[in-house]
Amino acid sequence: MGFLGLDKAPGFQFKTVPDGLSPATDDGVEHTQTMAELWTYLGANFLGSFLDVVSGLEIPVTCIICDGFMTYTNTIHAAEKLNIPIILFWTMAASGFMGFYQVKVLAEKGILPLKDEIYLTNGYLDMEIDWIPGMEGIRLKELPEIKLFTKHDNPAFKFLLETAQLAHKVSHMIIHTFEELEASLIKELKSIFPNVYSVGPLELLLNQITENEANKSLCNGYSLWKEEPECVQWLQSKEPNSVVYVNFGSIAVMSLQDLLEFGWGLVNSNHEFLWIIRSDLVDGKPVVLPQELEDAMKGKGFVANWCSQEEVLNHSSVGGFLTHGGWGSIIESLSAGVPMICWPVSGDQQTNCRQMCKEWGVGMEISRNVKRDEVEKLVNELMEGVEGKRMRKKALEWKKVAEKATGSNGSSCIDAEKLANEIVKLSRN
């Protein structure tokens, strides 16, 4: 985990609180498939454990920086009890946050929760939502986690209804984006919340920090899965922009049939591909590819359990990215100038997909009910079609904008410095 890289760094202390889960297996299968269980346990037990940790520190706490989901609610309650300022670090896009923030308005208008599960398929979700600044014309189904909103007493509905509204209690908010990418949304959020900072892409900011060799070791080990260096070695022999990189993230799962449709679609496209297949990708269980598919992939594809995604996306041989649409993957792909095909699964991914396809011009969406013919068609368009070339040009433009934003006088760098100064002020109060 990431904290191991900083364990010996001066000025850092690391404390842990119990998560209530059984120890993870060596391959990581357990801890990536228990999000609901983890939320439930943390909701009931985190607050007391966290207060014990904070009260046991020798140096007074100046402020608390927390993520937007896993420990967010309890950390805010802890900060209120201790009278400590809290800074929210929203690791999703500004559009993702705005989507979650609108759940309360949608509930007040009677649009959510859905009156019946039939509303998931009867066209109701095609309703346009026209009042969200910066996301005009977005459809209901393009907002985050709509499929969860079928009952008022659904724990997920109640959790998400509360989560974004609690942002009114934080003193500062960090959003992992860059202002040029989501300018109108950032402007709107700054009109709602007092102190909003767009700081990203983080990997580009981090690369500047780690140009110093002494700092590089501090930033190793933050991948959830063990990376296989053979992936990059395989890419070395490939032509520029010739390989499709396929990765559905560190947590998302699919059915075996979905996996087969993707596999045969990739094979039939006749483009070389690097495919990351986690050990728990198929319904959280170990993956065994049919021999027929393995034989067809020989000479075309390289399969691995995990890789250094930033390194792969920035490799000259990678010409496109087939992704689930997690925000980390999208912003890394934008930073590398790589166009995408998106297959959104859950969370904010549908919103991310909508933004990258309709607003930023760097992606194409694949149907949720994936079929191999569509995979083949979209991969070919991505790698050699007119639309693919247009998207690649646009992606490279966004890469330049992202690099400028994280440069010494860029918008993200300036916001990061402003935030650091605010934290210093808090320490003096």
Can you tell me the mean pLDDT for 262-286?
94
Q: Is residue 124 part of a domain?
A: yes
Q: Is residue 60 part of a domain?
A: yes
Cβ-proximal residues to 342 (8 Å cutoff; 6+ apart), any chain = 323, 324, 325, 330, 349, 352, 353, 356, 357, 363, 364, 365, 366
* Total domains in the fold of the chain: 2
Residues 23 and 151 in one domain: yes
Residues 155 and 48 in one domain: yes
Q: Is residue 285 part of a domain?
A: yes
Q: Residue 20 pLDDT > 60, yes or no?
A: yes
> What's the DSSP call for residue 285?
B
pLDDT-derived band of residue 28, with 50, 70 and 90 as boundaries? very low
pLDDT given at position 412: 98
Q: Residue 367 pLDDT > 80, yes or no?
A: yes
Residues 187 and 108 in one domain: yes
Query: Considering the chain, what is the average pLDDT of its residues?
Result: 88
Q: Is residue 225 part of a domain?
A: no
Q: Residue 27 pLDDT > 50, yes or no?
A: no
Residues 399 and 414 in one domain: no
pLDDT-derived band of residue 5, with 50, 70 and 90 as boundaries? low
Can you tell me the mean pLDDT for 247-266?
95
Residues 253 and 368 in one domain: yes
List, for residues 180-224, the tens digit of each pLDDT value. Answer: 999 999 999 999 998 999 999 999 998 877 555 445 555 555 566
Higher pLDDT, 384 or 115: 384
Cite the DSSP H helix spans in 139-244. Answer: 155-165, 183-192, 202-209, 213-216, 230-235
Residues 213 and 249 in one domain: no
Residues 196 and 344 in one domain: no
- Above pLDDT 70, what percent of the chain? 86
List, for residues 45-86, the tens digit of each pLDDT value. Answer: 788 888 888 888 888 888 999 988 766 778 888 888 889 999
Q: Residue 3 pLDDT > 70, yes or no?
A: no
Higher pLDDT, 43 or 393: 393
Where in the sequence is the domain holding 272, given as residue range(s)?
Answer: 230-404
Q: How far apart, in Å, are the Cα atoms of 352 and each of 98, 294, 320?
A: 12, 32, 17
pLDDT-derived band of residue 285, with 50, 70 and 90 as boundaries? confident
Residues 193 and 45 in one domain: yes
Residues 205 and 234 in one domain: no
299 φψ region: left (φ > 0), alpha (ψ -120 to 50), beta (else):
left
pLDDT-derived band of residue 113, with 50, 70 and 90 as boundaries? confident
Question: In b/e form, how buried is each residue of 152-185, taking b as 16+ CB within 10 angstroms?
Answer: eeeeebebbbebbebbeebbbbbbbbbbbbbeeb
Q: How far apart, in Å, are the Cα atoms of 116 and each of 112, 144, 147, 149, 160?
A: 10, 18, 11, 10, 19
Can you tell me the mean pLDDT for 3-30?
64
3-state secondary structure of 71: coil
* Closest to 73 measured CA to CA, from 191, 136, 181, 161: 161
Can you tell me the mean pLDDT for 27-36?
52
Q: Residue 11 pLDDT > 80, yes or no?
A: no
Residues 412 and 325 in one domain: no
pLDDT given at position 251: 86
Q: Which amino acid is at 38?
A: L
pTM score:
0.91
Determine the angle formed by the axes of helices 72-82 and 155-165, rounding to 10 degrees: 50
Residues 292 and 390 in one domain: yes
Q: Residue 33 pLDDT > 60, yes or no?
A: no
Higher pLDDT, 114 or 244: 244
Residues 39 and 139 in one domain: yes
Longest dimension (CA), the chain: 67
**Sheet architecture: strand order including 172-175:** 64-67, 86-90, 172-175, 196-198
**To the nearest 5 percent, what fractions of the chain are helix, strand and coil?**
50, 10, 40
The burial of 289, by beta-carbon neighbours within 10 Å (0-12 exposed, 13-18 middle, 19 or more buried), is given as middle
d(CA 241, CA 232): 14
For residue 326, what is the domain's CATH number? 3.40.50.2000
Can you tell me the mean pLDDT for 276-299?
92
